[in-house]
Chain A
Amino acid sequence: NAGVTQTPKFRVLKTGQSMTLLCAQDMNHEYMYWYRQDPGMGLRLIHYSVGEGTTAKGEVPDGYNVSRLKKQNFLLGLESAAPSQTSVYFCASSYGTNANEQFFGPGTRLTVL
């Protein structure tokens, strides 16, 4: 099992450009999450999904959109990137509720110039 994988690993964007981060999990988990991690701050939840076809906003959803068309995939989109979105993005998944153990991907380091 690969667990949770993320693509790409690194990306540099110019302000105003768009991109999509892909997360895939092979553990048949219902719940999937997108977090961002910034220096000196704890991980913050951007969006999450409790099942295929469903998405919901987390703590810091502004500037991001998500889609969960297939159970194993969770996409995070930036329509018009801003320097404030420079961060490391982590995808995670869990079985059942998010109170259960969450398994994290390796992260995507995004820089917006």
Chain B
Amino acid sequence: KNQVEQSPQSLIILEGKNCTLQCNYTVSPFSNLRWYKQDTGRGPVSLTIMTFSENTKSNGRYTATLDADTKQSSLHITASQLSDSASYICVVTMNTGFQKLVFGTGTRLLVSP
């Protein structure tokens, strides 16, 4: 079954600290993997997109890694800010005709002052 699992479900960290969010997937065939940030009451916003051949991609303080062999990805947030409080969603695209997207349920991050 094509699934995307994220851990932890929720996380609280102090402002200025780093954190890492995990994503494991069983989606096949694989096309790309994306991380989205979703603020409360807003739509998801893309942070990174990685294809099979890419194993790391950065967007400011956000760095995503991909291990296509173990089907794992992580999102590392450096020097967290209060504005990083949001849900982070891992999404895997299937390399099929329509290229279906399989969404994880997200990790809810709270950055505390």
Q: Residues on A close to B: CB < 8 A?
A: 4, 40-45, 56, 90, 92, 97-99, 101-107
Contact = CB atoms under 8 A, between A and B. Distances in A.
A104 B46 CA distance: 9
9 contacts: A40-B105, A41-B105, A42-B4, A43-B103, A98-B101, A101-B46, A106-B41, A106-B42, A107-B43
Contacts of B106: 42
Interface of B: 4, 31-32, 34, 41-46, 49, 89, 93, 98-106
Chain B facing A: main interface SS: strand
A104 B89 CA distance: 13
A105 B41 CA distance: 11
Contact of B46 (A4, A99, A102): A102
Nearest first, the 9 closest Cβ-Cβ pairs linking A and B are A42-B103, A104-B43, A99-B99, A43-B103, A101-B46, A104-B44, A99-B93, A42-B105, A106-B43
A97 B99 contact: yes
Contact of A107 (B41, B102, B103): B41
Among B98, B104, B106, the most chain A Cβ lie within 10 Å of the Cβ of B98
Among B44, B49, B93, the most chain A Cβ lie within 10 Å of the Cβ of B44
A97 to B, nearest CB: 6
